[in-house]
Structures are given as C-alpha cells and as structure tokens.
Amino acid sequence: MKTCEFGNADSNIILIQPVDDHDLEGIENEFAMITNSCDLSFRLIAGSINNWNNDLSPWEAPAVFGKENFGGDASRTLGELLKLCDDKGKKYYIGGYSLAGLFALWAAYQTDIFDGVAAASPSMWFPGFEDYMKKNEIKTDTVYLSIGDREEKARNPVMATVGDRIREAHSLLKERNVNCILEWNEGNHFKDADIRTAKGFAWVLNSNG
C-alpha cells in the first residue's frame, strides 16, 4: 500500500486514513485544518486504496449505484493498515470519508488498537451494517459521526436511508457508553470532504486530549 505522510514523524499520535485520488487532492488542506483545530502534535498517514468498493467493504454486497459490486475485502486492507500501527507506545486513530468512514467504524469492531474513530459522512446505508453494530461490541470508546443535511434526500432509495441509519448508529453507540457525537453539515455527500474529515479527526483528538 502506498502512503503519504504529514506532520511530526516522531509524534506519539498517529492518524490513519484510507484515501483515493480525490481525497489526496484535499489532504494538505485537511492536515492544516486539523493542525489549526487542536494543540497536539500528530502524524497523519494516508493509505491509497486501489479498488474503493472492493477494498473497503466489510463483506460482499450487490451494487447500489453503477454496476460494481462490493467485494468484501476490508479485512485484507485492515491488515495492511495495521502494519502501520506496530509501536504499542503510540496512540492510533482511524478515520475516513464516505465508504472509508464506514470502514473506519468497522475496523474499530475488529481491533482495540484505535483510540478513536472519525467517520465523516460514512456509508451507513451499506447493507447489513446496522445489524452488525447491534450484534457486536465496538472496541474503542470515542467515535465521531457526521453527515450532510442533504444526503438523506438522495434519489437512490438505498442511499436515502443514510440519515435514519446514522441516527440509529449514534443512539446505539451512546447506549453502549461510547463517547459519540453526530454532527450535521450543510450540503450533499460530495461537499467539503476534506473539511468534514478534518473536523472529525480534530474532535476525537480533542476529546482524548
């Protein structure tokens, strides 16, 4: 996996983010916004994802838009990212946007290595994920969720469920005593991905000090 790194290479705080080419276009702005929003020194490692629908989906699912199915190869991707988390003396956070946000949330059910999750506009409509959350226990105690206020107005009937799904996820995590916030942003799913992701990472960093 190719990675891009920003910030203090010697920091004890590491942010892990799966990204695509579009995310990389705004990654420097995202890093600057996180830096300006907290007083902590940190290192941001962005890992490039080759096949978004395959590599970030936790299990196989039929296509929701277009013709590309979800391949369910998230376990392999998480294995690659965990190689970046080999120093037990450091604190690790994971986050991402869209399907990468869902992946970040799912990852915190697989391992306790992450001290917090920043799931910005995550694809909570992903088939079966709500039931998965109900049947399993998350292994972190700090989760940031966000969504655009127009996302649940999508024409696609599956994607239009995202508002209800993320409200339910927030309630479930709160019931299980997770420090969790749900923030609503202006706009649809494609607006300000870098800003929304930066807000998520800054919140989990500030929440954990």
pLDDT digits (tens, 9 = 90+) for 137-157: 999 999 999 999 888 888 888
How would residue 159 be classed by pLDDT, with cut points 50, 70 and 90? Answer: confident
- 188: its two tokens: 């649809």
Q: What are the pLDDT digits (tens) for 192-209?
A: 999 999 999 999 999 986
What is the share, in percent, of the chain residues with pLDDT greater than 90?
85
Which three-class secondary structure state does DSSP give residue 88? coil
- Alpha-carbon gap, residue 152 to 21, rounded angstroms: 25
At residue 103 the predicted structure's pLDDT band, cuts being 50, 70 and 90, is: very high
Confidence at residue 65, expressed as pLDDT on a 0 to 100 scale: 76
Other C-beta atoms closer than 10 Å to the C-beta of 175 total: 9
pLDDT tens for each residue of 50-95: 999 999 999 999 888 777 899 999 999 999 999 999 998 999 999 9
The one-letter amino acid at 199: K
Q: Could you give the residue ranges of the DSSP H alpha helices within 83-177?
A: 99-110, 129-135, 162-175
The phi, psi pair for 119, rounded to 5°, reads: -105, 95
Q: What is the pLDDT of residue 188?
A: 80
Structure confidence by residue, pLDDT tens digits, 1-52: 999 999 999 999 999 999 999 999 999 999 999 999 999 999 999 999 999 9
Region 178-199: mean pLDDT is 93
